[in-house]
């Protein structure tokens, strides 16, 4: 610890390095953290801290650069019983950081702990709670065999196996042992977490022997300290990071998140019952302009819930592009015209003239201070096609209550997507988070088919069909996925794809 304290002091006193360079044996990173009070990898409280945990704890399965499941702690797996049972065989000679051997009982205990919490009658069901939709339980018939009982006989089960594994006696113990490339030497809530190389790691020892993670209360303080060279690397989703471009002295590395920004339509409202109106709104909204001018380019394209950088992405031949003229044409086909020349479209409904006016509610997210600006920009775009709108900001609680009650026309908000690429939770008829009241027997059939696909190619094919159906029906508008930035003066990874929750991915192999 004395060595790192000296290093920290030197960093505070010296100006930033004149040239960017490869990391050597240590790295100081900064990230926002104010709610992590103890090390609990199975129930993490903050998004960015998960990336630190992933340096300490490993999972049965990992995702490669393409997002495809690959073996990690497991060396192989096999599906039996029509997809209802998955059997994983662990690699040999893996130990925890104290030298204790990893066994199947540790994996089963970790997975069953997550399921117990997820199925409990508690408000906070945990970060990995969605596992309960795919898995019913774990068994360990011997030291190297893990048997997973699946609720759904499909390929998506493998994605659920990316949860961290701790020692079977420490599922509820803060600071549990892990098998990863690093171990936690010291942790002070709100201050720092100090990681050092795990001498018992089962792979080649990392070149980077120490990682000091400094915690900040806000992005403003974090970016200020990066500017003054007090940290080598800053991890942030703030759009303020867009001002930093890669140059000779530093790098700006974009990473993808699972946060999907959406404009929800209430499909039961008269205005949005007609698919032509929903399509018109999609043509009327210039997503690229919003992404560039409001989010400063820190986005990943998404015309459907599948991001454009995913291996499952299906490139639409007739993708929507900004076309207000096409929007006006569709609205006219749907019966909306400006009969009284007041620049607001109208139509006769039940013998009375009805203006095309929509309520646009926006969730003001503390972590997304530009969403309200986006809502106003959308309102201006709708005005160009003679649609009247009123923008109203809401808290999280107000937004959730409004969505569940269905008392809205449009809502601008976001979904935090799960690691399992299954979009039925908000597209399938009757599902709780189908806030749009979207009813499509074709889509429901596709979702049900997806959940029977055990092979990778079949899973991808059906996901492509789901995207095509979404594009046809436009139940809501996917604006884009948010992206974040890793600002760094020291290069620490060569992996092609850096994703949220794995922001230090590749540091363990850098320089080897």
Alpha helix stretches (DSSP H) within 240-362: 270-273, 275-284, 287-293, 324-333
Q: 434 exposed, middle or buried (CB, 10 Å; 0-12, 13-18, 19+)? A: middle
Residue located via tokens 């209802």: 84
Q: What local confidence, expressed as pLDDT, does residue 512 receive?
A: 75
Q: What CA–CA distance (Å, rounded) separates 467 from 469? A: 5
User: What is the chain's alpha carbon radius of gyration, rounded to the nearest angstrom?
Assistant: 25
Q: How many CB atoms lie within 10 A of CB 201?
A: 20
Q: What local confidence, expressed as pLDDT, does residue 10 receive?
A: 41
Which pair of structure tokens corresponds to residue 12?
């505070």
Q: What CA–CA distance (Å, rounded) separates 346 from 305? A: 32
Q: What local confidence, expressed as pLDDT, does residue 236 receive?
A: 96
Strands 182-188 and 135-142: unpaired
- Under 8 Å between Cβ of 192 and 212: yes
What are the phi and psi torsion angles at 33 (to 5°)?
A: -155, 125
Per-residue pLDDT of the chain (512 residues; tens, 9 = 90+): 444 444 444 443 333 333 468 999 999 999 999 999 999 999 999 999 999 999 999 999 999 999 999 999 999 999 987 778 999 999 999 999 999 999 999 999 999 999 999 998 888 888 999 999 999 999 999 999 999 999 988 999 999 999 999 999 999 999 999 999 999 999 999 999 999 999 999 999 999 999 999 999 999 999 999 999 999 999 999 998 888 877 767 899 999 999 999 999 999 999 999 999 999 999 999 999 999 999 999 999 999 999 999 999 998 766 789 999 999 999 999 999 999 999 999 999 999 999 999 999 999 887 767 999 999 999 999 999 999 999 999 999 999 999 999 999 999 999 999 999 999 999 999 999 999 999 999 999 999 999 999 999 999 999 999 999 999 999 999 999 999 999 999 999 999 889 999 999 999 999 87
- Mapped to the 3 state alphabet, what secondary structure does 64-89 carry? CCCCCEEECCEEEEEEEHHHCEEEEE
Cα distances (angstroms) measured from residue 331 to each of 316, 339, 358, 436: 23, 13, 14, 20
What are the phi and psi torsion angles at 104 (to 5°)?
A: -60, -30
Q: Domains in the chain, please, with CATH? A: 1-34+180-250+489-512 (3.40.190.10), 58-179 (3.90.76.10), 257-484 (3.10.105.10)
Whole-model pTM?
Answer: 0.92
DSSP at 413: E
Q: What local confidence, expressed as pLDDT, does residue 233 receive?
A: 97
Q: Minimal CA–CA distance to 283: which of 275, 294, 273, 293? A: 275
Q: What CA–CA distance (Å, rounded) separates 388 from 287? A: 19
Handedness of CA 7, 12, 17, 18 (dihedral sign): negative
Contacts for 346 with CB less than 8 Å, ≥ 6 apart? 336, 337, 338, 339, 340, 353, 354, 355, 356
């Amino acid at each position: 610890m004395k060595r790192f304290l000296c290093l920290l002091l030197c960093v505070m006193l010296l100006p930033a390095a004149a040239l960017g360079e490869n990391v050597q044996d240590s790295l100081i990173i900064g990230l926002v953290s104010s709610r992590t009070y103890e090390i609990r990898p199975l129930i993490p409280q903050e998004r960015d801290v998960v990336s630190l945990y992933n340096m300490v704890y490993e999972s049965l399965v990992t995702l490669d650069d393409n997002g495809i499941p690959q073996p990690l702690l497991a060396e192989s797996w096999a599906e039996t019983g029509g997809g209802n049972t998955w059997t994983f065989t662990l690699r040999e000679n893996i130990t925890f950081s104290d030298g204790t051997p990893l066994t199947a009982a540790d994996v089963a205990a970790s997975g069953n702990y997550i399921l117990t919490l997820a199925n409990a009658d508690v408000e906070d069901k945990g970060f990995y709670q969605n596992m309960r939709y795919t898995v019913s339980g774990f068994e360990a018939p011997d030291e190297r065999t893990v048997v997973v009982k699946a609720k759904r006989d499909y390929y998506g089960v493998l994605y659920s196996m990316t949860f961290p594994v701790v020692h079977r006696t420490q599922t509820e113990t803060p600071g549990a042992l892990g098998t990863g490339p690093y171990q936690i030497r010291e942790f002070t809530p709100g201050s720092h977490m100090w990681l050092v190389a795990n001498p018992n790691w089962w792979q080649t020892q990392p070149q980077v022997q120490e990682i000091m993670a400094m915690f900040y209360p806000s992005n403003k303080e974090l970016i200020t300290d990066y500017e003054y060279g007090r940290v080598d690397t800053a991890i942030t989703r703030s759009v303020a990071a867009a001002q930093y471009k890669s140059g000779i002295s530093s790098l700006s590395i974009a990473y993808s998140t699972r946060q999907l920004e959406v404009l929800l339509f209430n499909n039961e409202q008269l205005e949005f019952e007609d698919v032509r109106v929903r399509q018109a709104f999609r043509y009327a909204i210039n997503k690229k302009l919003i992404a560039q001018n409001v989010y400063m380019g820190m986005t990943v394209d998404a015309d459907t819930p599948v991001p454009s950088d995913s291996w499952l992405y299906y490139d639409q031949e007739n993708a929507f592009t900004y076309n207000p003229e096409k929007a006006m044409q569709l609205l006219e086909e749907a019966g909306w015209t400006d009969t009284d020349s007041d620049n607001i479209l109208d139509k006769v409904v039940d013998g009375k003239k009805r203006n095309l006016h929509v309520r646009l509610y926006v969730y003001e997210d503390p972590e997304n201070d530009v969403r309200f600006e986006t809502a106003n920009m959308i309102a201006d775009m709708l005005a160009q096609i003679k649609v009247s709108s009123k923008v109203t900001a809401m808290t999280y609680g107000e937004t959730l209550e409004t969505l569940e009650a269905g008392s809205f026309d449009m809502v601008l908000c976001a979904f935090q997507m799960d690691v399992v690429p299954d979009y039925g939770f908000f597209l399938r008829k009757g599902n709780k988070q189908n806030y749009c009241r979207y009813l499509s027997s074709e889509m429901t059939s596709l979702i049900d088919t997806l959940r029977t696909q055990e092979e990778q190619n079949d899973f991808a094919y059906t996901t492509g069909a789901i995207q095509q159906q979404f594009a046809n029906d436009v139940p809501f508008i996917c604006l884009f996925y948010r992206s974040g930035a890793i600002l760094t003066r020291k290069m620490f990874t060569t992996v092609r794809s850096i994703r949220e929750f794995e922001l230090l991915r590749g540091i363990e192999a850098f320089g080897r």
